Structure 1
Amino acid sequence: MDDADDLDDPADADDADDAADLSWETLDSAVDYACPGFDVRRDEVRFPDGETDGFHYVDEPPAVVVLPLTPDGDVVVIDEWRQAVGRVNRGIPAGTMEPEDGDEEAGIERAAARELAEETGYEADSFERLTTVEPTNGMANAVHHHVLATGCEPTAERELDHNESISVATVPYDDLLAAVVDDGLRDGRAVTAVLWYELLRR
């Protein structure tokens, strides 16, 4: 081994220094407002220059986002009313991980199988994680685990929550990809899943 391999990369040290210079110190934290699905939390923070202030953000559990493919390669999609934007939104199954799911890959797969079955009535032969993202980390601590589900068949019973208005359809994958490109698909979770699948698997 070359002696140079034993030396730390100066760039790594610079990155660590930059992170330390930019980091905020959390002095206190409390929930200002709680509702089903998420809380609004306020942290009292100290900035790098020593000033202090409050910072509000959405505090929510990790979630799974499922890209379900049938044996023919079609995508199982959902059309769901989204009150925040006032319209029906095309997307893919997604939902919050529960404490009993556990963590790591096994927990992600359990949550993905549950959300797929409950929202669409489909079950998959196999699951594979595509990526994990923080979609809105300027205002929320949300973590989304994107999962590919293959061999999906309509063999389960749907179990929608009382506040879910969802219809289910299947579309050719290429049509869904085209909707990403021409802005026809607006759901950010679905867009992320399709693009990762396109990059990694196609």
Structure 2
Amino acid sequence: MILSAQPTDCTIANTPYLRLIDRGGWSFVQRTTGVGVVAIIAVTNENELLLVEQNRPPVNQSVLELPAGLVGDLSDLPLENLEQAAKRELLEEAGYEAENWVEWVTVASSAGLTDECVTLFFAQGLKKVGLGGGDANEKITVHQVPLAKIDNYLDQRVRSGTLLDGRVYAALYFLRAKTDLSF
């Protein structure tokens, strides 16, 4: 969910995808496309967590993340809802469809920098139906990590210099707190 403008907002700069806003002396970024963001905590029937890895220019390196994306940013799908976007992103980025979807929580992505919020979905009953890898502008690698080995896997990746998106740690918390999956 991207929060609405306030009467006191002053636009400092605009780009095709972002705008810089001043709100009472606080500068922050808003997206100009989409109406929200979704991230998917997808667990396969073999108890593997799906993670994606892609280059992120702002940090100048590859980042290990949950499958995720914008809601309502496509001209042919401007009215899609959060769950529709989550389904689209899981298929596009990881090549999977899921039978069971649960909306778990909406969190601030970086409240000091942006008004953007991310809604986390839990997806189970996965079926591989495509290659994944993202759209034409993305080069995404899909990782299927056994939950029984996830902590060691992430520790090893971090020690080797991989940057992790914080939502991966949130996913592990919610998997432990809200499911009967053992890992």
- Interval containing the TM-score (normalised by the shorter chain): 0.7 to 0.9
State which drifts further: 80-89 or 180-189.
180-189
Counterpart CA distance in 2 for 1:28 and 1:170 is 43
- Partner of 2:22 in structure 1? 42
The structure where helix makes up a greater share of residues is: 1
The alpha-carbon deviation at position 28 of structure 1 amounts to 3.9
The one-letter code matched in structure 1 to 2:20 is V
User: Does the C-alpha gap of structure 1 residues 176 and 39 become closer, same or farther in structure 2, counting only changes over 3 Å?
Assistant: farther
Q: Does 1:32 align with 2:32?
A: no
Provide the TM-score with structure 2 as the length reference. Answer: 0.77
- Partner of 1:5 in structure 2? none
RMSD of Structure 2 on Structure 1 (CA): 2.4
Provide the TM-score with structure 1 as the length reference. Answer: 0.71
User: Does the C-alpha gap of structure 1 residues 159 and 186 become closer, same or farther in structure 2, counting only changes over 3 Å?
Assistant: closer
Give the paired residue count.
163
User: Does the C-alpha gap of structure 1 residues 153 and 114 become closer, same or farther in structure 2, counting only changes over 3 Å?
Assistant: same
Q: Secondary structure at the match of 1:116?
A: helix
The structure where strand makes up a greater share of residues is: 2
Deviations 1:174-199 (A, max 9, x none): 32244557783721122212212212
Deviations 1:16-43 (A, max 9, x none): xxxxxxxxx853432512233x322233
- Partner of 1:189 in structure 2? 167
Deviations 1:93-144 (A, max 9, x none): 000111311xxxxx22111100000111111111111211012111210110
Counterpart CA distance in 2 for 1:193 and 1:144 is 12
- Partner of 2:62 in structure 1? 88
Counterpart CA distance in 2 for 1:174 and 1:131 is 24
Does the CA-based 8 Å contact 2:10-2:22 persist in structure 1? yes
> What are the ranges of 5 or more consecutive residues in structure 2 without an aligned counterpart?
1-5, 73-77
Report sequence identity in percent. 25
> What are the ranges of 5 or more consecutive residues in structure 1 without an aligned counterpart?
1-24, 46-53, 102-106
Deviations 1:147-188 (A, max 9, x none): 111011211354733432211121101322445577837211
The 5 Å alignment of 1:114-153 reads 114-153=88-127
Does the CA-based 8 Å contact 1:130-1:197 persist in structure 2? no
- Partner of 2:147 in structure 1? 173
The one-letter code matched in structure 2 to 1:100 is L
User: Does the C-alpha gap of structure 1 residues 28 and 73 become closer, same or farther in structure 2, counting only changes over 3 Å?
Assistant: closer
